Every structure is written in structure tokens, then in C-alpha cells.
Amino acid sequence: MGPVVSPAIISEIEEALAQVSEIRAARVVTSSDGIIDEIHVLALPSKAPKQLVRDIESTLMAAFGIAIDHKKISIAQLGHEAMPQVPEPTKPHARAQIKNINVEVVGVYVNISVALELEGELFVGKATGPASRTGRERLVAEATLDAIAQYLQGSFTFALEDVEIIRLGRESIATACVVLVTSLGEQAFAGSALVRQNDKDSIVRATLDAINRRLGFLTTP
């Protein structure tokens, strides 16, 4: 003989069992005098039936103080196709690849173009200004950001704060500070790259280093 339960308690027991993660539906059957005769459960196949029976026993004892004979519990498990589908990992954002850097000096001015490939498309950024050494460094970074602006199609704007090649020990390092400008304000990012091939290539890489991870966030649907 078990404890007598009212129809209201039976409803509460069924709701409590349905909260167990593997259980999709539960039905409690009682005798004419209100004693639990059977508990029928429809569950996912992610847990062994014996463990699920113990979970049901624990739930009834903890929530209602009812001890139930495990023989009264019937488990029906769904097929594996009923298991929740695990979403495919998000494809990582394709980082920009440098395809070409072109410098054309015209008198005291210099025209610089930077070609970047992003997600299979080619974007060519351009910048023109004085042909001084520091001016060229800035123009390389600005041309890089111009290519990125074409990729973003005006959704966001990156502005160059500063770019410089510095010495650290025996190494030369290109550094860039870039500001993301939105309607909510500004946010600065810094990037760096060791000078390996030439200054221009390293400046492009430093500029991209400052914004690459931010690009993945901005272009995520």
C-alpha cells in the first residue's frame, strides 16, 4: 500500500516529472482509492532506463515525500532521431589576405593601393598624400582601411589614429592604432606585426591585426 494522492497532487507529480531533462511526458495512474499503481514515462534515449527510474524515485521523494516501488515505473524511450540536434560550429570568420601592395610616386605625392581578399572577393583600397616617409606609412594603413570599408559597405567606419615602426631589442615592429567609429561612440584597437618582408607589408599586417577579430564580430549575422 502506498500513500493516497488526490487528483491535484497527481497533476503536480506529472508536471514535476516532466521537468526532468530526459522526460518528454509522464502519466500517473492510480487505483480507485487514490493509490499510485503505475507511472508511465516517455523519455529521450540519452540516459539508461535504470538511471532514469532512480531519478524518478528521487524526484517523488524530494518533492512529495512519496516512496514508489521501482516496479511501478514504466519507461518508453524515443528513438535517437528525437535527440536535440547539436548546431554546427560557426564557421570562423575569414581573415583578410594581402594580395598586392602598390606604391606610385608622382612628384611630391604618392598613390598607394592595397588589395585584400576577404571571403573570396577582392577589395582594393586607395590613399593619396605627401610622399614623406611618415606620410607613406600612414597612407599604407589608410589604404588598408579603405579596402576594409569597401568590404563592410559602409556599415561601420574604421579610422586610423596612428601607425609607427618601432625597435624592440633586435626586432623592428610595425604598430597601428585604429578606432572603430559607430553611432554609439568610438573604440580603439591596437595591432602589431614583426617586420619580415618590408615595412609596407608589416604595416598592412599590423593594421589588420588591430581589426581582424572585431571584423568577425561586426559581420556576424
CATH number, domain at 119? 3.30.160.270
Q: What is the DSSP letter of 4?
A: B
Domain of residue 202: give its range.
Answer: 97-218
Please report whether residue 214 resides in a domain. yes
Distance separating alpha carbons of residues 6 and 1, to the nearest angstrom: 15
Domain count within the chain: 2
Please report whether residue 87 resides in a domain. no
Q: What is the pLDDT along the chain (221 residues), one digit of tens a residue?
A: 567 788 888 888 888 898 888 888 889 998 888 889 899 998 888 888 888 899 999 888 888 888 888 889 999 887 765 555 545 444 445 578 899 999 999 989 999 999 999 888 999 999 999 888 888 999 999 999 999 989 888 767 888 999 999 998 888 999 999 998 776 677 888 999 999 878 999 999 999 998 887 776 555 44
Please report whether residue 29 resides in a domain. yes
In the Cβ-directed half-sphere of 167, how many Cα atoms lie within 13 Å? Answer: 2
Distance separating alpha carbons of residues 23 and 43, to the nearest angstrom: 4
Distance separating alpha carbons of residues 112 and 130, to the nearest angstrom: 11
Residues 74 and 115 in one domain: no
Distance separating alpha carbons of residues 204 and 174, to the nearest angstrom: 9
Please report whether residue 73 resides in a domain. yes
Overall pTM > 0.75: no
Contact between residue 195 and residue 202 where contact means Cβ atoms under 8 Å apart: yes
CATH of the domain at 31: 3.30.300.30
pLDDT for position 198 = 87
